[in-house]
Amino acid sequence: ELRSLGDTNILPFPLDRFEGRWRCRIHAAGRSHVGRYDWFYCRIFRDGTRWKIEKRSGQDYFGGTFHPDPTLGTVYVGADWASGQRTHLYGQHPNRDMAGVLRRVDKGLLRLILSYEDYLQVVEIDIRHRLRARHITAPGAKADSD
């Protein structure tokens, strides 16, 4: 299964088609750990001129911005923080910084591929399942209006 995460036929995509709340999950692989975590919800949205993503449920959160790059495609920079902590921005706390690339793998899946600390993290964004506020039942999930 881990091998298939890197199996990408990269397809072009405009981020505006993926604005909204989505069902997401994280795969992580490091020297001593390989795991797939439960589904959570994340949100892709436009904040002024920038596209952003936020993990909005669970015990650990992350968020950051997407930037176009002529070589890499869509680049992500962001940070993570624990539930109950203030939101961290990229560059504020270098040990919390995250960077990666966003790929559309097939018609139903985006992958945010991150190098984080000493492991690889892949956030799967299931674009077949747009969530509405009434579908969000994860503990700690914050409903907001967009």
How confident is the prediction for the chain on average, in pLDDT? 79
Listed residue (106, 103, 129) closest to 114, CA to CA: 103
Q: Partners of 78 in the beta sheet?
A: 64, 98
**pLDDT over 70, % of the chain:** 81
User: Residue 115: which H helix or E strand, with range?
Assistant: strand 109-116
Burial of 56 (0-12, 13-18, 19+ CB in 10 A): buried
The pTM assigned to this predicted structure is 0.79
Distances in Å between the alpha carbon of 67 and those of 135, 137, 142?
29, 31, 26
What's residue 137's pLDDT? 46
Whether the CB-CB separation of 27 and 9 falls below 8 Å is answered with no
pLDDT in tens, 49-82: 899 999 977 888 899 999 988 778 888 999 988 8
Question: Is 70 exceeded by the pLDDT of residue 27?
Answer: yes
